[in-house]
Structure 1
C-alpha cells in the first residue's frame, strides 16, 4: 500500500472541479467518520443508517447505502487500504439528488489515555445529527487545548453532562456504564459497545449525569472511532484511572468484527 501523503477528496465519485467550490460553503449537511483498515470498518450498517436517517430528516429523501459504499471504495481506489474516511452529504439547491463528498486521510492512531476535559456550557443544536458547521465544537475544543486539556466537555443547564466535542462519555458506577441522557450524538462506537457490555458482565443504561456527580464514579471514559480512552481529569477534579472496566470496554470494542466496505 502506498503511504497516503495528502488528503484525497472526491465529490460524487470524481475529484473536485471549480464548479464544486460553493458546495462545502453551504452550512447545511451531515457526515459520518470512520476508521478503515484493509478496506473494512466497524459498524458499517450503523454508518449507513446514520447517513440515510439524517438525509431523510434534513432533505426529505433517503440515501442509498450501496451508493455510499461505492463512493468510499472509489475514493480509496486500489492504493489505500488503511485510512480515516469521512462521508459528507449535502443537497445543493436545484439538484434532484444529494451530493456525496468522501475525504480520505491517513489513519488515526489509538487515542491517548488517560485524557483531561474542560467543561463548557454548550450543547450542539440538533445534537442527534452529526451535522456540519460545528463552530461551537471547534471553538471550545481549541479553547480547552489552549488551557492544557485534551478536549472540552459539553454541558447544559445545571451542569448536565452531554458529550465531548468529538466523543461520547461513559461513567461506571460499579455495576453499569451510565451514558448521559442529555441531548447528544449517539456515536457509532457507543452504539457498538452499548448492547455488548452486558455480554461481559457490565450493565449499560442511560441516565442524567451532572458535573457535581463526576467524582462519585469509579471510572470515566470516552468513545469514538479512534477507540476507548480513560478520563483522568475534568476541570480541577482528578478522577481514578486504571480501572479494569475501561480496559474491558477497549477489548470489547477491539473484538467487534470489521465489515467489508
Structure 2
C-alpha cells in the first residue's frame, strides 16, 4: 500500500489550509531527487535550476541557505529519501499574474522510487511541453501522453516536435548509442540533472559524446537507446514504435557506473 508523502511548506508541516492554492493554481517550478546516505548527486545543479526557475517565473530567487535549511528540517535526520521541492506563491493568481517576489517552498518527503527496468517500449508522439527548458508543475499534457501510450500497449511516450526532431520523454531525457559514442538529441527539452551528470562523467572518462538532430527515420543508425532521470540513472530502451534496438546492456551498465561516480553532495 502506497504511503502518502510528508508535505512541508516554508519549513513546517503543511496544514490543510496551506494546500488550497496549489490545488487551484497550477503555476510553479520543481525539482526532485534521491537522497542517499544523507547526500545528493548533483545537488548544486538542482538548486541552481530551482533558482533560475524562481527568477523566471516569480521574478526573484530563493536563498540557497533557506532551501537547505528547509530540506534538512523536512528530512528530520533521515539519510535515505525522495525529495520533491516545489516553488509557488499564494500571491500569484489568475487575477494577479504580475506579482513579483520570492516564492514559497513546498517539500515532499517520501520513499525513493524504484528505478525503471530495462526494456522500455516507447510510443512516439508529436508533443512539446510548454516552456520545455523549465521543470514546471503543469503536468496534464505529460499524464495524457503517458496514458495514451499505456492504453496503446507501450510503457511510455517519447516526444517529437513539429519538425520531427526527437526531444525528450514524458519524465526523462533520452540518449542514443552509436558504437562507443553517446548521441544526445539536439532539440528543445529540459536539460535534466541526470543527463548533465552523465555528460560530465563521460567527458571526465574521455568517452565520446555529441549532440545531433535525431529523427524517427534515423533510428536504424543507432545500436541502442536509453532514458535517464534522477530516479533512473539509465535504463535501456527496447523499442520505439516498431523499431527494435539491439541489446545495449554493457553500454547502459557503463552509464550507470558513470552516474554513480559522481560524488554525493551534503545537504
Deviations 1:34-57 (A, max 9, x none): 011222111010000000100011
Are 1:239 and 2:245 counterparts?
yes
Shift of 1:243: 4.7
CA distance in 1, matches of 2:81, 2:147: 24
CA distance in 1, matches of 2:258, 2:167: 23
CA change 1:81–1:243 in 2 (3 A) is closer
Partner of 2:9: 11
SS of equivalent residue, structure 1 residue 154? strand
Partner of 2:265: 259
CA contact (8 A) 1:219 1:243 kept: no
Partner of 2:32: 33
CA contact (8 A) 2:59 2:102 kept: no
Correspondence for 2:87 among 63, 86, 89: 89
Q: Please give the TM-score of this superposition, normalised by the length of structure 2.
A: 0.91
CA contact (8 A) 2:58 2:102 kept: no
CA contact (8 A) 1:231 1:241 kept: no
Shift of 1:21: 2.7
Partner of 1:111: 116
CA distance in 1, matches of 2:226, 2:3: 32
CA contact (8 A) 2:43 2:265 kept: yes
RMSD of aligned alpha carbons: 1.7
Correspondence for 1:196 among 178, 194, 201: 201
Shift of 1:60: 1.1
Partner of 2:105: 100
Partner of 1:52: 51
Correspondence for 1:130 among 135, 159, 177: 135
Partner of 2:182: 177
SS of equivalent residue, structure 2 residue 150? helix
SS of equivalent residue, structure 1 residue 92? coil
Shift of 1:175: 4.2
Shift of 1:179: 1.0
- Structure 1 residues 196-205 or 108-117, which shifts more? 196-205
Shift of 1:242: 2.8
SS of equivalent residue, structure 2 residue 12? coil
SS of equivalent residue, structure 2 residue 141? helix
Shift of 1:59: 1.1
Aligned residues: 257
CA contact (8 A) 2:173 2:192 kept: yes
CA contact (8 A) 1:33 1:87 kept: yes
Are 1:222 and 2:227 counterparts?
yes
CA contact (8 A) 2:201 2:261 kept: no
